[in-house]
Chains A and B, each alone.
Chain A
Amino acid sequence: MIKDKITIKIKRQDTPQLKPRWETFVLKYRPGMNVITCLMDIRKNPRTVDGIKTTPVKWEQNCLEEVCGSCTMVINGKVEQACSALVDHLEDPITIEPMTKFPLVCDLVVDRSRMFEALKQVKAWIPIDGTYDLGPGPKIYPEEQQDMYAFSKCMTCGCCLEACPQINSHSPFIGAAAIGQVKLFNAHPTGHENAGERLEALMTSGGAQDCGNAQNCVEVCPHKIPLTTSIAEINRQITRKLFGLFKK
Protein backbone atom coordinates (compact mmCIF):
# COMPACT_ATOMS: atom_id res chain seq x y z
CA MET A 1 0.00 0.00 0.00
CA ILE A 2 1.37 3.40 -0.91
CA LYS A 3 0.24 6.22 1.32
CA ASP A 4 1.01 9.84 0.62
CA LYS A 5 0.06 11.33 3.99
CA ILE A 6 0.63 10.16 7.56
CA THR A 7 -1.08 11.37 10.72
CA ILE A 8 0.90 11.88 13.93
CA LYS A 9 -0.74 12.51 17.32
CA ILE A 10 1.62 13.78 19.99
CA LYS A 11 1.04 14.20 23.71
CA ARG A 12 2.42 17.63 24.56
CA GLN A 13 3.21 19.12 27.94
CA ASP A 14 5.22 22.33 28.35
CA THR A 15 6.12 21.88 32.02
CA PRO A 16 5.59 19.07 34.57
CA GLN A 17 2.98 21.23 36.31
CA LEU A 18 0.80 21.96 33.26
CA LYS A 19 -1.86 19.55 32.00
CA PRO A 20 -0.93 17.51 28.91
CA ARG A 21 -2.65 18.19 25.59
CA TRP A 22 -2.83 16.28 22.30
CA GLU A 23 -1.76 17.84 19.00
CA THR A 24 -2.30 16.21 15.62
CA PHE A 25 -0.04 16.74 12.64
CA VAL A 26 -0.34 15.55 9.04
CA LEU A 27 2.92 14.95 7.19
CA LYS A 28 3.87 14.11 3.63
CA TYR A 29 4.98 10.47 3.47
CA ARG A 30 8.50 9.67 2.32
CA PRO A 31 9.89 6.13 1.99
CA GLY A 32 12.07 4.97 4.89
CA MET A 33 10.66 7.46 7.42
CA ASN A 34 11.05 6.81 11.11
CA VAL A 35 9.52 8.60 14.09
CA ILE A 36 12.54 10.89 14.48
CA THR A 37 12.27 12.09 10.88
CA CYS A 38 8.57 12.74 11.52
CA LEU A 39 9.45 14.87 14.55
CA MET A 40 12.07 16.71 12.46
CA ASP A 41 9.50 17.39 9.72
CA ILE A 42 7.13 18.81 12.34
CA ARG A 43 9.91 21.01 13.68
CA LYS A 44 10.43 22.55 10.20
CA ASN A 45 6.80 23.69 10.15
CA PRO A 46 5.11 23.25 13.53
CA ARG A 47 1.51 23.60 12.37
CA THR A 48 -1.27 21.25 13.54
CA VAL A 49 -3.77 19.59 11.22
CA ASP A 50 -6.14 22.52 11.87
CA GLY A 51 -3.50 24.94 10.58
CA ILE A 52 -2.80 26.40 14.01
CA LYS A 53 0.83 27.40 14.57
CA THR A 54 2.39 25.69 17.59
CA THR A 55 5.82 25.31 19.20
CA PRO A 56 8.28 22.68 17.90
CA VAL A 57 7.96 19.37 19.78
CA LYS A 58 10.83 18.75 22.19
CA TRP A 59 12.50 15.34 22.35
CA GLU A 60 15.89 13.79 23.07
CA GLN A 61 18.07 12.04 20.53
CA ASN A 62 21.71 11.21 20.12
CA CYS A 63 23.07 8.22 18.21
CA LEU A 64 20.11 7.58 15.88
CA GLU A 65 21.09 3.91 15.57
CA GLU A 66 19.45 2.33 18.64
CA VAL A 67 22.55 2.18 20.83
CA CYS A 68 22.18 5.21 23.11
CA GLY A 69 18.56 4.87 24.23
CA SER A 70 17.91 8.61 24.55
CA CYS A 71 14.98 8.75 22.10
CA THR A 72 12.92 6.13 23.96
CA MET A 73 9.21 6.99 23.95
CA VAL A 74 5.81 5.33 23.87
CA ILE A 75 4.78 4.84 20.24
CA ASN A 76 1.31 3.45 19.49
CA GLY A 77 1.05 2.33 23.12
CA LYS A 78 4.35 0.42 23.21
CA VAL A 79 7.72 1.63 24.40
CA GLU A 80 10.59 1.72 21.89
CA GLN A 81 13.30 3.92 20.41
CA ALA A 82 11.92 6.56 18.04
CA CYS A 83 14.96 6.29 15.73
CA SER A 84 14.33 2.62 14.94
CA ALA A 85 10.51 2.90 14.87
CA LEU A 86 9.87 2.77 11.14
CA VAL A 87 6.70 4.44 9.89
CA ASP A 88 6.16 1.53 7.45
CA HIS A 89 5.78 -0.82 10.42
CA LEU A 90 3.44 1.45 12.39
CA GLU A 91 -0.31 1.69 12.19
CA ASP A 92 -1.71 5.06 11.12
CA PRO A 93 -2.39 7.37 12.95
CA ILE A 94 0.83 7.15 14.93
CA THR A 95 0.47 8.22 18.57
CA ILE A 96 3.58 9.41 20.37
CA GLU A 97 3.73 9.86 24.14
CA PRO A 98 6.53 10.34 26.66
CA MET A 99 7.41 7.41 28.94
CA THR A 100 5.10 7.30 31.96
CA LYS A 101 7.37 5.74 34.60
CA PHE A 102 9.84 8.63 34.77
CA PRO A 103 9.38 12.26 35.86
CA LEU A 104 8.38 14.37 32.87
CA VAL A 105 10.55 17.30 31.83
CA CYS A 106 8.58 18.57 28.82
CA ASP A 107 6.82 17.07 25.77
CA LEU A 108 8.65 13.79 25.04
CA VAL A 109 11.60 14.44 27.36
CA VAL A 110 11.73 12.53 30.66
CA ASP A 111 14.26 12.39 33.49
CA ARG A 112 15.74 8.87 33.64
CA SER A 113 18.18 9.55 36.46
CA ARG A 114 16.55 6.87 38.66
CA MET A 115 18.24 4.32 36.39
CA PHE A 116 21.66 5.82 37.14
CA GLU A 117 20.81 5.92 40.85
CA ALA A 118 19.93 2.21 40.60
CA LEU A 119 23.32 1.40 39.04
CA LYS A 120 25.02 3.25 41.89
CA GLN A 121 22.90 1.42 44.46
CA VAL A 122 23.93 -2.02 43.16
CA LYS A 123 27.59 -1.00 42.64
CA ALA A 124 27.53 -1.78 38.93
CA TRP A 125 31.28 -1.38 38.47
CA ILE A 126 34.54 -3.22 39.21
CA PRO A 127 36.85 -1.47 41.69
CA ILE A 128 40.40 -1.96 40.42
CA ASP A 129 41.99 1.36 41.41
CA GLY A 130 44.93 0.96 43.76
CA THR A 131 48.45 2.07 44.58
CA TYR A 132 50.28 -0.55 42.55
CA ASP A 133 49.88 -2.46 39.31
CA LEU A 134 47.59 -5.42 39.89
CA GLY A 135 48.75 -7.14 36.71
CA PRO A 136 46.46 -8.69 34.11
CA GLY A 137 43.04 -9.85 35.22
CA PRO A 138 41.93 -13.48 35.13
CA LYS A 139 41.00 -15.15 31.87
CA ILE A 140 37.38 -15.24 30.78
CA TYR A 141 36.49 -18.11 28.49
CA PRO A 142 34.68 -17.32 25.24
CA GLU A 143 31.47 -19.04 26.33
CA GLU A 144 31.27 -16.85 29.45
CA GLN A 145 32.20 -13.82 27.37
CA GLN A 146 29.24 -14.46 25.10
CA ASP A 147 26.96 -14.84 28.11
CA MET A 148 28.20 -11.58 29.62
CA TYR A 149 28.29 -9.67 26.33
CA ALA A 150 24.50 -9.72 26.10
CA PHE A 151 24.27 -7.76 29.37
CA SER A 152 27.00 -5.31 28.40
CA LYS A 153 24.71 -4.08 25.61
CA CYS A 154 22.31 -2.47 28.08
CA MET A 155 21.95 1.24 27.27
CA THR A 156 19.67 2.11 30.25
CA CYS A 157 17.03 3.26 27.77
CA GLY A 158 14.22 2.50 30.23
CA CYS A 159 12.05 0.21 28.05
CA CYS A 160 12.14 -2.57 30.68
CA LEU A 161 10.99 -0.18 33.41
CA GLU A 162 8.29 1.42 31.28
CA ALA A 163 6.71 -1.95 30.38
CA CYS A 164 6.96 -3.38 33.91
CA PRO A 165 3.72 -3.55 35.94
CA GLN A 166 5.78 -3.55 39.16
CA ILE A 167 7.28 -0.14 38.36
CA ASN A 168 4.80 2.44 39.62
CA SER A 169 4.34 5.04 42.31
CA HIS A 170 3.12 2.38 44.77
CA SER A 171 6.14 0.09 44.39
CA PRO A 172 9.83 0.71 45.10
CA PHE A 173 11.02 -1.94 42.58
CA ILE A 174 14.46 -1.13 41.13
CA GLY A 175 13.69 -2.59 37.67
CA ALA A 176 15.23 -5.23 35.43
CA ALA A 177 18.11 -3.15 33.99
CA ALA A 178 20.05 -2.86 37.27
CA ILE A 179 19.50 -6.55 38.09
CA GLY A 180 20.93 -7.46 34.68
CA GLN A 181 24.03 -5.39 35.48
CA VAL A 182 24.47 -7.22 38.80
CA LYS A 183 24.42 -10.46 36.85
CA LEU A 184 27.07 -9.01 34.50
CA PHE A 185 29.45 -7.71 37.18
CA ASN A 186 29.01 -10.74 39.44
CA ALA A 187 29.88 -12.99 36.49
CA HIS A 188 33.15 -11.15 35.90
CA PRO A 189 36.04 -12.92 37.73
CA THR A 190 37.33 -9.64 39.21
CA GLY A 191 33.88 -8.17 39.78
CA HIS A 192 32.91 -11.35 41.59
CA GLU A 193 34.92 -10.11 44.57
CA ASN A 194 32.11 -7.65 45.37
CA ALA A 195 29.29 -10.04 44.45
CA GLY A 196 28.01 -10.20 48.02
CA GLU A 197 27.67 -6.42 48.29
CA ARG A 198 25.68 -6.26 45.05
CA LEU A 199 23.37 -9.04 46.22
CA GLU A 200 22.86 -7.26 49.54
CA ALA A 201 21.83 -4.15 47.62
CA LEU A 202 19.24 -6.27 45.79
CA MET A 203 17.89 -7.68 49.06
CA THR A 204 16.76 -4.27 50.28
CA SER A 205 13.36 -2.70 49.73
CA GLY A 206 12.63 -2.60 45.98
CA GLY A 207 15.22 -5.30 45.26
CA ALA A 208 15.04 -8.46 43.17
CA GLN A 209 12.26 -9.90 45.36
CA ASP A 210 9.84 -7.22 44.12
CA CYS A 211 9.92 -8.62 40.57
CA GLY A 212 6.48 -10.04 39.73
CA ASN A 213 7.70 -12.12 36.77
CA ALA A 214 5.38 -10.51 34.25
CA GLN A 215 8.43 -10.81 31.97
CA ASN A 216 7.50 -7.78 29.86
CA CYS A 217 11.09 -6.53 30.22
CA VAL A 218 12.53 -9.31 28.09
CA GLU A 219 9.76 -8.82 25.49
CA VAL A 220 10.37 -5.10 25.02
CA CYS A 221 14.17 -4.96 25.43
CA PRO A 222 15.47 -3.55 22.12
CA HIS A 223 18.75 -5.43 22.53
CA LYS A 224 17.07 -8.73 23.47
CA ILE A 225 19.00 -8.90 26.75
CA PRO A 226 17.91 -12.05 28.66
CA LEU A 227 16.71 -9.94 31.62
CA THR A 228 14.38 -12.54 33.12
CA THR A 229 17.23 -15.06 33.10
CA SER A 230 19.38 -12.60 35.02
CA ILE A 231 16.61 -12.00 37.59
CA ALA A 232 16.22 -15.75 38.24
CA GLU A 233 20.02 -16.11 38.29
CA ILE A 234 20.29 -13.35 40.93
CA ASN A 235 17.49 -15.04 42.90
CA ARG A 236 19.59 -18.21 42.79
CA GLN A 237 22.70 -16.34 43.99
CA ILE A 238 20.68 -14.81 46.84
CA THR A 239 19.29 -18.24 47.77
CA ARG A 240 22.86 -19.59 47.88
CA LYS A 241 23.85 -16.63 50.04
CA LEU A 242 20.92 -17.42 52.35
CA PHE A 243 22.12 -20.96 52.75
CA GLY A 244 25.62 -19.71 53.46
CA LEU A 245 27.02 -21.47 50.44
CA PHE A 246 27.90 -18.32 48.55
CA LYS A 247 31.66 -18.25 48.14
CA LYS A 248 33.31 -14.88 48.06
Chain B
Amino acid sequence: MSQSEVAKLDTKHFYMRRLHSLLGLLPVSVFVIEHMIANSFIMQGPEAYNGVIALLRGLPFVVFLEVMIIGLPLLFHAAYGIHITLTSRANVINYGYWRNWMYFLQRVSGIIALIFIAYHVWEFRIASSAYGFEVTYGAVAKAMHHPLIFWFYAVGMAGTFLHFANGLWLFCITWGITVGPKSQKVAGWIFGAAGLALFFIGIQAIWTLSR
Protein backbone atom coordinates (compact mmCIF):
# COMPACT_ATOMS: atom_id res chain seq x y z
CA MET B 1 0.00 0.00 0.00
CA SER B 2 1.34 3.43 -0.87
CA GLN B 3 1.88 6.15 1.68
CA SER B 4 -1.07 8.15 0.34
CA GLU B 5 -3.51 5.26 0.83
CA VAL B 6 -2.44 4.76 4.44
CA ALA B 7 -2.84 8.46 5.18
CA LYS B 8 -6.20 8.65 3.38
CA LEU B 9 -8.69 8.96 6.21
CA ASP B 10 -6.40 9.83 9.10
CA THR B 11 -7.62 13.31 10.05
CA LYS B 12 -7.00 12.78 13.79
CA HIS B 13 -3.73 14.71 13.77
CA PHE B 14 -5.30 17.59 11.90
CA TYR B 15 -7.99 18.05 14.56
CA MET B 16 -5.51 17.55 17.40
CA ARG B 17 -3.20 20.17 15.93
CA ARG B 18 -5.99 22.69 15.42
CA LEU B 19 -7.27 22.01 18.95
CA HIS B 20 -3.74 22.53 20.28
CA SER B 21 -3.62 25.87 18.48
CA LEU B 22 -7.10 26.92 19.63
CA LEU B 23 -6.48 26.01 23.29
CA GLY B 24 -3.24 28.02 23.19
CA LEU B 25 -5.39 31.12 22.60
CA LEU B 26 -8.56 30.12 24.41
CA PRO B 27 -8.29 29.76 27.32
CA VAL B 28 -4.52 29.61 27.95
CA SER B 29 -3.41 32.99 26.53
CA VAL B 30 -6.50 34.75 27.83
CA PHE B 31 -5.84 33.31 31.29
CA VAL B 32 -2.21 34.44 31.15
CA ILE B 33 -3.38 38.00 30.42
CA GLU B 34 -5.87 37.84 33.30
CA HIS B 35 -3.11 36.52 35.57
CA MET B 36 -0.83 39.44 34.67
CA ILE B 37 -3.62 41.96 35.28
CA ALA B 38 -4.08 40.42 38.73
CA ASN B 39 -0.31 40.59 39.30
CA SER B 40 -0.18 44.27 38.41
CA PHE B 41 -2.13 44.97 41.65
CA ILE B 42 1.19 44.33 43.43
CA MET B 43 2.08 47.90 42.41
CA GLN B 44 -0.78 49.15 44.62
CA GLY B 45 0.62 47.45 47.71
CA PRO B 46 -0.02 44.34 49.84
CA GLU B 47 -3.65 45.13 50.68
CA ALA B 48 -4.76 45.59 47.07
CA TYR B 49 -2.95 42.40 46.04
CA ASN B 50 -4.38 40.35 48.90
CA GLY B 51 -7.82 41.66 47.99
CA VAL B 52 -7.46 40.40 44.40
CA ILE B 53 -6.27 37.00 45.65
CA ALA B 54 -9.27 36.79 48.00
CA LEU B 55 -11.64 37.77 45.18
CA LEU B 56 -10.28 35.17 42.76
CA ARG B 57 -10.12 32.48 45.42
CA GLY B 58 -13.68 33.28 46.42
CA LEU B 59 -15.15 32.80 42.93
CA PRO B 60 -18.06 30.36 42.89
CA PHE B 61 -17.03 26.88 41.63
CA VAL B 62 -13.40 28.00 41.73
CA VAL B 63 -11.90 24.48 41.66
CA PHE B 64 -14.17 23.47 38.79
CA LEU B 65 -13.15 26.60 36.87
CA GLU B 66 -9.46 26.00 37.57
CA VAL B 67 -9.56 22.40 36.42
CA MET B 68 -11.86 22.76 33.41
CA ILE B 69 -10.84 26.19 32.11
CA ILE B 70 -7.14 26.23 33.00
CA GLY B 71 -5.82 22.84 34.08
CA LEU B 72 -7.08 20.41 31.44
CA PRO B 73 -6.64 22.70 28.40
CA LEU B 74 -3.11 23.52 29.56
CA LEU B 75 -2.30 19.83 30.08
CA PHE B 76 -3.49 18.95 26.57
CA HIS B 77 -1.59 21.89 25.10
CA ALA B 78 1.58 20.79 26.90
CA ALA B 79 1.26 17.10 26.05
CA TYR B 80 0.57 17.68 22.36
CA GLY B 81 3.26 20.37 22.33
CA ILE B 82 5.81 17.79 23.49
CA HIS B 83 4.65 15.50 20.67
CA ILE B 84 5.10 18.35 18.14
CA THR B 85 8.56 19.12 19.53
CA LEU B 86 9.58 15.48 19.15
CA THR B 87 8.70 15.57 15.42
CA SER B 88 11.03 18.52 14.76
CA ARG B 89 14.70 18.52 13.86
CA ALA B 90 16.04 22.06 14.23
CA ASN B 91 18.58 23.23 11.65
CA VAL B 92 19.39 26.79 12.72
CA ILE B 93 23.14 26.28 12.21
CA ASN B 94 22.90 25.90 8.42
CA TYR B 95 19.74 27.96 7.95
CA GLY B 96 20.06 30.78 10.48
CA TYR B 97 17.06 32.82 9.34
CA TRP B 98 15.04 34.80 11.90
CA ARG B 99 11.85 32.73 11.54
CA ASN B 100 13.81 29.49 11.73
CA TRP B 101 15.28 30.68 15.04
CA MET B 102 11.78 31.50 16.25
CA TYR B 103 10.64 28.02 15.22
CA PHE B 104 13.46 26.58 17.36
CA LEU B 105 12.85 28.98 20.28
CA GLN B 106 9.10 28.27 20.24
CA ARG B 107 9.91 24.66 21.11
CA VAL B 108 12.64 25.52 23.63
CA SER B 109 10.48 28.17 25.33
CA GLY B 110 7.56 25.74 25.45
CA ILE B 111 9.67 23.32 27.50
CA ILE B 112 10.92 26.16 29.75
CA ALA B 113 7.35 27.38 30.25
CA LEU B 114 6.17 23.86 31.06
CA ILE B 115 8.81 23.37 33.78
CA PHE B 116 8.20 26.86 35.16
CA ILE B 117 4.40 26.56 35.22
CA ALA B 118 4.51 23.05 36.73
CA TYR B 119 6.65 24.37 39.62
CA HIS B 120 4.60 27.55 39.96
CA VAL B 121 1.26 25.74 40.11
CA TRP B 122 2.64 23.17 42.54
CA GLU B 123 4.16 25.78 44.86
CA PHE B 124 1.40 28.39 44.95
CA ARG B 125 -1.72 26.34 44.29
CA ILE B 126 -1.48 22.61 44.94
CA ALA B 127 1.08 22.47 47.75
CA SER B 128 -0.33 25.56 49.46
CA SER B 129 -3.81 24.00 49.56
CA ALA B 130 -2.54 20.54 50.50
CA TYR B 131 -0.33 21.78 53.34
CA GLY B 132 -2.67 24.63 54.29
CA PHE B 133 -0.47 27.69 53.94
CA GLU B 134 -2.15 30.80 52.67
CA VAL B 135 -0.91 32.53 49.51
CA THR B 136 -0.59 36.20 50.40
CA TYR B 137 1.58 39.15 49.43
CA GLY B 138 3.87 38.28 52.35
CA ALA B 139 4.19 34.60 51.45
CA VAL B 140 5.00 35.30 47.79
CA ALA B 141 7.41 38.08 48.74
CA LYS B 142 9.22 35.69 51.06
CA ALA B 143 9.74 33.24 48.19
CA MET B 144 10.94 36.00 45.83
CA HIS B 145 13.58 37.12 48.32
CA HIS B 146 15.50 33.98 47.47
CA PRO B 147 17.73 34.90 44.48
CA LEU B 148 17.46 31.43 42.97
CA ILE B 149 13.65 31.58 42.99
CA PHE B 150 13.75 35.15 41.65
CA TRP B 151 15.92 34.17 38.68
CA PHE B 152 13.94 30.98 38.09
CA TYR B 153 10.83 33.15 37.78
CA ALA B 154 12.57 35.68 35.53
CA VAL B 155 13.77 32.99 33.10
CA GLY B 156 10.48 31.11 33.35
CA MET B 157 8.49 34.21 32.48
CA ALA B 158 10.85 35.07 29.60
CA GLY B 159 10.17 31.61 28.15
CA THR B 160 6.45 31.83 28.81
CA PHE B 161 5.96 35.22 27.16
CA LEU B 162 8.15 34.39 24.19
CA HIS B 163 6.02 31.27 23.70
CA PHE B 164 2.89 33.38 24.22
CA ALA B 165 3.82 36.08 21.68
CA ASN B 166 5.15 33.76 18.99
CA GLY B 167 2.31 31.31 19.68
CA LEU B 168 -0.29 33.96 18.92
CA TRP B 169 1.63 34.81 15.75
CA LEU B 170 1.49 31.13 14.78
CA PHE B 171 -2.22 30.96 15.65
CA CYS B 172 -2.92 33.63 13.03
CA ILE B 173 -1.19 31.52 10.36
CA THR B 174 -2.64 28.18 11.50
CA TRP B 175 -6.17 29.54 11.11
CA GLY B 176 -5.38 31.51 7.95
CA ILE B 177 -5.90 34.97 9.45
CA THR B 178 -2.53 36.41 8.37
CA VAL B 179 -1.74 35.04 4.92
CA GLY B 180 0.86 37.24 3.23
CA PRO B 181 4.31 38.29 4.51
CA LYS B 182 3.16 41.87 5.18
CA SER B 183 0.30 40.92 7.49
CA GLN B 184 2.54 38.37 9.21
CA LYS B 185 5.14 41.08 9.84
CA VAL B 186 2.53 43.43 11.33
CA ALA B 187 1.19 40.58 13.52
CA GLY B 188 4.76 39.92 14.65
CA TRP B 189 5.17 43.50 15.88
CA ILE B 190 1.78 43.52 17.64
CA PHE B 191 2.25 40.21 19.46
CA GLY B 192 5.89 41.01 20.17
CA ALA B 193 4.85 44.25 21.87
CA ALA B 194 2.08 42.48 23.80
CA GLY B 195 4.49 39.78 24.98
CA LEU B 196 7.05 42.37 26.07
CA ALA B 197 4.40 44.36 27.95
CA LEU B 198 3.24 41.28 29.89
CA PHE B 199 6.85 40.27 30.57
CA PHE B 200 7.47 43.78 31.93
CA ILE B 201 4.46 43.49 34.29
CA GLY B 202 5.70 40.10 35.47
CA ILE B 203 9.27 41.28 36.11
CA GLN B 204 7.99 44.43 37.82
CA ALA B 205 5.84 42.22 40.09
CA ILE B 206 8.62 39.88 41.22
CA TRP B 207 11.03 42.84 41.51
CA THR B 208 8.61 44.67 43.84
CA LEU B 209 8.07 41.50 45.88
CA SER B 210 11.78 40.81 46.23
CA ARG B 211 12.60 44.28 47.63
- The chain A residues found within 8 Å of chain B, CB to CB, are 77-78, 114, 117, 120-121, 163, 165-166, 168, 170-173, 201, 203-207, 209-210, 212-216, 219-220, 226, 228-229, 231-240, 242
Contact = CB atoms under 8 A, between A and B. Distances in A.
Report, nearest first, the 7 A-B pairs whose CB atoms are least far apart: A236-B176, A214-B103, A121-B4, A215-B99, A171-B87, A235-B176, A209-B17
Contacts, number: 119
Nearest to B91: A165
Contacts of B91: 163, 165, 216
A203 B13 CA distance: 8
B176 to A, nearest CB: 2
Interface of B: 2-4, 7-14, 17-18, 84, 86-91, 93-95, 97, 99-100, 102-104, 106, 170, 173-181, 184
Contacts of B106: 212
A209 B176 contact: no
Nearest to B182: A229
Contacts of B94: 77-78
A96 to B, nearest CB: 14
A19 B94 CA distance: 23
15 contacts: A78-B94, A165-B89, A166-B88, A170-B86, A170-B87, A171-B88, A173-B87, A204-B14, A209-B18, A214-B100, A214-B103, A216-B100, A219-B97, A229-B181, A239-B175
Contacts of A171: 87-89
Contacts of B95: 78, 163, 216, 219-220
Residue of A172, A232, A238 most packed against chain B (CB within 10 A): A232
B109 to A, nearest CB: 14
B4 A117 contact: yes
B14 A117 contact: no
Contact of B97 (A168, A205, A216, A240): A216
Nearest to B10: A205
Nearest to A167: B89
Contacts of A120: 4
Nearest to A233: B179
A237 B176 contact: yes
Contacts of A240: 176
Contacts of B97: 214-216, 219
A165 B11 contact: no
A170 B179 CA distance: 28
A120 to B, nearest CB: 6
A166 B87 contact: yes
Contacts of A235: 173-176
B76 to A, nearest CB: 16
A107 B157 CA distance: 48
Contacts of B9: 204
Contact of A203 (B14, B102, B177): B14
Nearest to A237: B176
Contact of A213 (B11, B173, B179): B173
Contacts of A121: 3-4, 7
B89 A214 contact: no
Contacts of B102: 214
Contacts of A205: 7, 10, 12-14
A157 to B, nearest CB: 16
B14 A212 contact: no
Contacts of B99: 213-216
B100 A172 contact: no
B175 A229 contact: no
Given A214-B100, A215-B97, A216-B97, A239 B11 contact: no
